[in-house]
Homo-oligomer: A and B are copies of this chain.
Amino acid sequence: PGGRVALVGAGPGDPGLITTRGRRLLAEADVVVVDRLAPQGVLEELDEDVEIIDVGKMPDRHPVPQEQINALLVDRARGGKIVVRLKGGDPYVFGRGGEELLACRAADVPVEVVPGVTSAIAVAAAAGIPVTHRGVARGFTVVTGHEELAHVPHGGDHTLVLLMGVKRLSQTTDELIRAGHRPTTPAAVIERGFLPDQRVTVATLGELAERAAAVGATAPAIVVVGDVVTALQD
């Protein structure tokens, strides 16, 4: 009776980049379900009687399976609770929000999706890189999978944002160059976007993997490839 679920995009990590709608829903929540990508700062303001459930997927811990997260959302909502599922970035950008929506619908639980600031764009911005810029790039592509690299646009005037492991970065850049990207295209690795120790490594596409390895780049990181990488530099 009265239970419901909101899938809230919490933005890229800076607590100021959650939406006002998301903030309001958090203030009303009885239960908040978070993972490691959700900004921790916004949790500090919650009342003590709010149940916080961490389904975080740490690299060396077992993640909570998606089906179990779905079941949890439905269970708490059926118990009459206002449930906020707080997700890093936007719920529909690699956030599995669609799966959680379908699970709630299948259980006849009212569900709302609140878009968020996606990390794919905002982390680049935090590094001083605009994904589009007049006279430089009129479009952009965001991909997670290696299998897509052969099919993305290959001019420096179309920005690529790669959300995939930095471990395989040399394979990634090799694949892009083999598919037609100029090795001289500007590129960047941005580690720990919006955290105090954010680090940006800029190089040409051909040299990026080596440079990233030299500084010991690690996850979480995003990679941006395109002429926009240097568009705002002095």
Contacts and interface: CB of A to CB of B under 8 A. Distances in A.
Interface of A: 9, 11-12, 14-21, 23-24, 90-94, 96-99, 101-102, 113-118, 121-122, 124-126, 130-134, 138-145, 148, 151-155, 158, 231-232
A96 B231 CA distance: 12
B144 A142 contact: no
B132 A139 contact: no
A113 B140 contact: no
Nearest to A234: B105
The quantity of this chain's copies bound in the complex is 2
Given A115-B121, A158-B148, A20 B23 contact: yes
Nearest to A153: B151
A153 B140 CA distance: 12
Nearest to A133: B98
A132 B88 CA distance: 15
Contacts of A99: 133-134
B117 A116 contact: yes
Contacts of A132: 92-94, 144
Contacts of A158: 143, 148, 151
Contacts of A113: 125
A228 to B, nearest CB: 8
Which of A17, A133, A139, A148 counts the most chain B CB atoms within 10 A? A139
A174 to B, nearest CB: 19
Given A143-B138, A152-B153, A90 B117 contact: yes
Contact of A134 (B96, B133, B142): B96
